Amino acid sequence: MESSLPVTPSTTKTNSSPKKKDWFLIGILILLIVSLATTGLLAYQNFQLKKQLQQAQQSTTPTLTAVTPAPSFTQTEQLTTPTPTTITPTPNPTANWKTYRNEAITFKFPSSWEEKPVVTSDSGYTQEFNDPQNKYTLTFSSLKNYNPATGEPYASIDEYINMPYKVKAVTIDGQDGRQPLPRAGSEHIIAVMFFSKDSRNIYTLKLQTGNNPMDINEAEAKEAQKLFDQILSTFRFLD
């Protein structure tokens, strides 16, 4: 009889152990995690970049309401060129008046007034103009410049007037003159006195309203002064 020996089962060896498989799987998992993290990071950076670009475009691109078209040349010219203002000149109240003239002087007076005949004397002459409504009387007189007290011509118009106070100064066509009237007791009379250009004559231009101070009130006195100033503004020397 053959003796039977105990059979020992053989153990088959494999090429890889369970421990090596675990490390392989771990490595694949790590690579997958790194890949996902990298992809996510890139996607986040790309998202942030797009967001920044959109914000930059919104801050630099004006809205339709903020855009103002540049004016054309015609518009600019209209904005910078002032609109001309039409000024109507004040009509000259003496334009249609009559003109008095002699060899030495000239002036105007209202066209409805009448020129009376000149009255002469040894010392000079007087010319009168009457208002047809009998409200005003205008008188121009010329007297020789002679002071009977000294036998010499008056040195100044103030010496001729001989007032104890300062008389209102006026200028008649560049010539120095004085306005002694109106004054208390003669409120209805306006008068100026001045020398001729050669100082040989003394001229007096006078406007009288009514016959006495009671014939004029304050408003009428202002009206008379305005009329007198207009007449005086037309006075001119011819010599």
The pTM for the full model equals: 0.63
Could you read off the pLDDT tens digit of each residue along the chain, which spans 239 residues? 444 444 444 444 445 455 666 777 787 888 878 777 777 777 777 777 777 767 766 665 555 555 555 555 555 455 566 667 667 677 889 999 999 999 999 999 999 999 999 999 999 999 999 999 999 999 999 999 999 999 999 999 999 999 999 999 999 999 999 999 999 999 999 999 999 999 999 999 999 999 999 989 999 999 999 999 999 999 999 97
Structural domain includes residue 206: yes
Tens digit of pLDDT for each residue in 73-122? 555 455 566 667 667 677 889 999 999 999 999 999 999 999 999 999 99
Pair (52, 165) in one structural domain: no
Domain count across the chain: 2
Residue 216 belongs to a domain: yes
Residue 106 lies in a domain: yes
Range of the domain at 149: 98-237
**What does the pLDDT read at residue 203?**
98
The pLDDT, as a whole number, for residue 109 is: 98
Whether 127 is covered by a domain: the verdict is: yes
Are 113 and 227 part of one and the same domain? yes
What is residue 183's predicted lDDT score, i.e. its pLDDT?
A: 93
Asked whether residue 186 is domain-assigned, the answer is yes
The 3-state secondary structure of the chain reads: CCCCCCCCCCCCCCCCCHHHHHHHHHHHHHHHHHHHHHHHHHHHHHHHHHHHHHHHHHHHCCCHHHCCCCCCHHHHHHHHCCCCCCCCCCCCCCCCCEEEECCCEEEEECCCCEECCCEECCCEEEEEEECCCCCEEEEEEEEECCECCCCECCCCHHHHHCCCCCCEEEEECCEEEEEEECCCCCCCEEEEEEECCCCCEEEEEEEEECCCHHHCCHHHHHHHHHHHHHHHHCCEECC
Q: Are residues 120 and 218 in the same domain?
A: yes
